[in-house]
Structure 1
């Protein structure tokens, strides 16, 4: 089973609770050239993660140097394990066009502004094993689910649309007769967000159609 990946822009995020990282999540940690030290507690938590913690030091100064490194390593992880969910932990919205492109290509990638967002309702589970002996989901399957979800939302009066992510996932789960796993519905909502059709803030959903 492939690990999920949490790529951390430490230069942008600052304080990070590594103790909150669940099993099955690999954590590439990107340090800017100007970052010379980290708290002792952070180092202890990093040691506990063992090989799952990957320290990446950026050498030299340059505009967006750290961001380019994150994009490169993200591409490496996706090339080795295309099914692995990946989250970029950064408040830098400059990653969003790349993420939107990757989501359209069928990859499970998103950006989180905080550890709580990365590991909360849209948690970073370990990459899921194949479901039973059934046929694995294809990109055409995902496109059909996306189109159906979009049709459902657009056909619902705005005042009746779920205002929370949890409620939206529950509505989709019911609509698909509970045959689509929740993790796929969570990914579906992520894709709608990446496409700009929805936005989310602290679990609250805003619709843009």
Structure 2
């Protein structure tokens, strides 16, 4: 797995929530010469990253001085490990030509305005976060209502077929284990019976 380095333009972005940085990601914080103080709690969070944390102070003032430092270290990281994925956390648009040039040359480099842009949640994480938790009984009632509305001669006659139909009915949002548990509850309630591999419906 390739290394990921987050290069933070602290002068441009300001304080960020370092606890939101995914495990394994290295963080390089770039401070401008005019920045004399950094919030104590922020530095404490940064130091907790241990070897994953690096800080760079711009060696002098001037227009785009910090940007040049970031560009230099970006090149240094990619020279040491060309497969490294580098993310520049900055709202400065001046990095765009450099990033485009590096991408054309085959490097994995991009910019982000926020940590969420840098590390967007995976679709599965978003679904778990946004979808309301369903009680087992609710799933059973839903399945029962759906099956009752189906023509009797079109209802699945084997457990395997029933599981496949329920999985499709729930739009694949429930795991196979959940589907099997729902079928078990329908059997336990007497709504279904199973004999010799065949399902019988009692509704």
TM-score between both structures, scaled by the size of structure 1: 0.56
Distance (whole Å) between structure 2 residues aligned to residue 81 and residue 44 of structure 1:
29
Distance (whole Å) between structure 1 residues aligned to residue 56 and residue 47 of structure 2:
15
Give structure 2 stretches of 5+ with no counterpart.
123-203
Look up the SS of the partner of 1:5 in the other structure: strand
Q: Number of aligned residue pairs: give it.
A: 122
Q: Which residue of 1 aligns with 2:66?
A: 66
Residue 7 (1) aligns with residue 7 (2): yes
What is the Cα deviation at residue 59 of structure 1? 2.2
Residue 80 (1) aligns with residue 87 (2): no
Q: Stretches of 4+ moved more than 3 A in 1?
A: none
Residue 56 (1) aligns with residue 56 (2): yes
What is the Cα deviation at residue 39 of structure 1? 1.3
Deviations along 1:152-187, whole A, 9 cap, x unmatched? Answer: xxxxxxxxxxxxxxxxxxxxxxxxxxxxxxxxxxxx
Distance (whole Å) between structure 1 residues aligned to residue 13 and residue 82 of structure 2:
26
Look up the SS of the partner of 1:101 in the other structure: helix
Deviations along 1:102-130, whole A, 9 cap, x unmatched? Answer: 000111100001111111148xxxxxxxx
What is the Cα deviation at residue 43 of structure 1? 1.3
| Greater length-normalized contact order (CA 8 Å, ≥ 6 residues apart) | 1
RMSD: 1.3
Q: Which residue of 1 aligns with 2:98?
A: 98
Distance (whole Å) between structure 1 residues aligned to residue 5 and residue 58 of structure 2:
19
Residue 43 (1) aligns with residue 72 (2): no
Distance (whole Å) between structure 1 residues aligned to residue 121 and residue 62 of structure 2:
35
> Does the Cα contact within 8 Å between 2:30 and 2:57 map onto a contact in 1?
yes
What is the Cα deviation at residue 2 of structure 1? 4.7
Instruction: Within 5 Å, give how 1:127-142 maps onto structure 2.
Output: none
What is the Cα deviation at residue 3 of structure 1? 2.4
Give structure 1 stretches of 5+ with no counterpart.
123-209
TM-score between both structures, scaled by the size of structure 2: 0.58
